[in-house]
Structure 1
Amino acid sequence: MAKVLCVLYDDPKDGYPASYARDDLPVIDHYPGGQTTPTPHGTDFTPGQLLGSVSGELGLRTFLESRGHTLVVTSDKDGAGSVFDRELVDADIVISQPFWPAYLTPERIAAAKNLKLAVTAGIGSDHVDLDAAVAHGLTVAEVTYSNSISVAEHVVMMTLALVRNYLPSHRTVLDGGWDIADCVARSYDLEGMQVGTVAAGRIGLAVLRRLAPFDVGLHYTDRHRLPAELEQELNLSWHGSAAEMVPHCDVVTINAPLHPETEGLFDDKLISTMKRGAYLINTARALIVDRDAIGRALRSGQLAGYAGDVWYPQPAPADHPWRTVPHQGMTPHISGSSLSAQARYAAGTREILESWFDGTPIPDEYLIVRGGALAGTGAHSYAVNG
């Protein structure tokens, strides 16, 4: 029987919810492009529940224990002597979310002698050292597409919030003011701006589709160029690299996975080539940008705003400089963890576990690493060293 170690974020400060703002969720059975939503043999939760926190347990306990497996759930993942480190030693499977990542470093993977499977409840498996996973023959899987649209919606929200200066204007209301001139002095229309995405996969393409009705110019760069008919449909301008694209854009949104080719991409040099007063949105991974270069660009006015929900490390320390830089619209890592998304990635996690325990193939779209190599979605999206 397997020991499953699940690392989830803490429950709400006032306790696990006894009720919710809404009574139900819209029923979605497929994603754009036709891929079906997760189809496990069963679930033990109600869609719309808070599943991503400790008490939610991703709805897995009944399923796992009915099969004789052991489930350990914790939020304690960092620092010497963490529950995660203590329990990892003999764990067979580790599950965590990008929003509260259990960092599977080479050292942790080497110490986890029984570890065979690492599952990301959501999308984005860079908190697993993929080189080490390949070297140790681990299987790494994630619930591809489960929260891609959730993140795309967050990108659109943050884009509008920055361009229209929404957050400071809302703060004026909370503070009892009515300072219209102060609010609108940094407020612009998105209409007519040039918007570009670094990567046009599931999230990046969804962002482009959602921004097209705003009558903006749309740009993208990606390792894989989109079909010509799709470029024509959305009137997209393709660029061979981020360096070629960003000088043309008023808004740049980062939707690429973190791997050696993207780490540190947005440094002082690249940001200096952007339009003065451009906006940068990052819901991908924090290490794709240079943390301190962002602060310098915001203070100098090279960037008019920066928003995102990805930090390094996560959770971000209280003194993280992005908390206090000017003209930022940062949130905790929440874009892909809406209650709607949680229902999908919890179901997808169970689907992966059912396949694993039943000895049936994990769907290719969920695979990142298998058999000592990148596989499935991982082969398309990631790169490893060596």
Structure 2
Amino acid sequence: PERIAAAPNLKLAITAGIGSDHVDLDAAIAHGVTVAEVTYCNSISVAEHVVMMILGLVRNYLPSHQVVLDGGWNIADCVSRSYDLEGMHVGTVAAGRIGLAVLRRLAPFDVKLHYTDRTRLPESVERELNLTFHESAADMAPHCDVVTVNAPLHPETEGLFGEELLGTMKRGAYLINTARALIVDRDAVDRALRSGRLAGYAGDVWYPQPAPADHPWRTMPHQGMTPHISGSSLSAQARYAAGTREILESWLTGRPIRDEYLIVDGGRLAGTGAKSYSVHTR
């Protein structure tokens, strides 16, 4: 808010990607700043990364690969934490652009799919994917063997997966987070992995970023962390550039910015922002 207040000429803030939580949306609304992002530019990129992380954890891929790198051949150790994904209950926190894409990609694995979202999906989609809807993450988490977080960071999701919610999950469940690090409690995740409450955690997001060398998520057991690359494939970067150019050209020529690109416009949440974010109450 201080930076926005100090920039009286600021009219437009663009995220060359998805996720506008790094812009203070309350301040943008108060100062009439339009906020836009390139919605959908990397949704599939992130969804593919989520599926990769789920399989990597459940099949114990990374430790097994390390055995090869180390010159070993201990099959018993490799498979001691390896399971089939088939038949597991998998749930997503939020079923928007990325969450729904994850659900569609997981359906062929013959898993039982769950989701929670502030807006329920159309009945036709629930039938198509045989989805079970839950009113909240707290309602859904105890039913799932795998939970993936695909929600934006806002007041309702910050700190959501803390000690209490993690404690309600099945012992030995897996948690995937490619959304924002602050949606989970850093130290609670570390403790849950060391105690066996969680069988694995794979995350692509950290706080702070870049993560310091001594960040506990670098050394906690049974993890598959990556350095925030899930949405930055070269394929996605081409879409970032095209979308950013489109937003700028629309702005500079006075054409309306596509509704799905808008987060804040005209002093209020708009477009995708109205569906994805909430403002702080004062």
State the TM bucket, normalised to the shorter chain.
Answer: over 0.9
The structure, 1 or 2, with the larger RCO (C-alpha pairs under 8 Å, 6+ apart) is 2
1:193 equivalenced with 2:74 (yes/no):
no
Determine the structure 2 residue equivalent to 1:263. 158
Identity of aligned residues (%): 85
Q: Secondary structure at the match of 2:83?
A: coil
CA distance in 1, matches of 2:199, 2:19: 28
Select the residue among 270, 277, 281 that pairs with 2:176: 281
Determine the structure 2 residue equivalent to 1:298. 193
Structure with the higher helix share, 1 or 2: 2
Report the TM-score, using the length of structure 2 for normalisation: 0.98
Select the residue among 239, 253, 257 that pairs with 1:344: 239
CA distance in 2, matches of 1:322, 1:244: 27
Equivalent residues in 2 for 1:147-158, closer than 5 Å? 147-158=42-53
- Which structure: larger Rg? 1
Of residues 139-148 and 171-180 in structure 1, the stretch that sits farther from structure 2 once superposed is 171-180
Determine the structure 2 residue equivalent to 1:364. 259
Amino acid at match of 2:20: S
Q: Secondary structure at the match of 2:45?
A: helix
Number of matched pairs: 281
CA distance in 1, matches of 2:115, 2:276: 16
CA distance in 1, matches of 2:209, 2:11: 24
Superposed displacement of residue 355, structure 1: 0.6
Amino acid at match of 2:204: D
Q: Secondary structure at the match of 1:220?
A: strand
Superposed displacement of residue 113, structure 1: 2.8
Equivalent residues in 2 for 1:93-104, closer than 5 Å? none
Q: Secondary structure at the match of 1:256?
A: coil
1:80-128, Cα deviation, whole Å (9 max, x unpaired)? xxxxxxxxxxxxxxxxxxxxxxxxxx12222223221110111111011
Unaligned runs of 5+ in 2: none
Report the TM-score, using the length of structure 1 for normalisation: 0.72
Runs of 4+ in 1 over 6 A off after TM superposition: none
CA distance in 1, matches of 2:265, 2:213: 37
CA distance in 2, matches of 1:170, 1:370: 48
Select the residue among 88, 113, 119 that pairs with 1:224: 119
1:13-58, Cα deviation, whole Å (9 max, x unpaired)? xxxxxxxxxxxxxxxxxxxxxxxxxxxxxxxxxxxxxxxxxxxxxx
CA distance in 2, matches of 1:146, 1:245: 29
Determine the structure 2 residue equivalent to 1:213. 108
CA distance in 1, matches of 2:77, 2:110: 27
Determine the structure 2 residue equivalent to 1:174. 69
Of residues 121-130 and 106-115 in structure 1, the stretch that sits farther from structure 2 once superposed is 106-115
1:180-200, Cα deviation, whole Å (9 max, x unpaired)? 111111111101100000000
Amino acid at match of 2:221: P
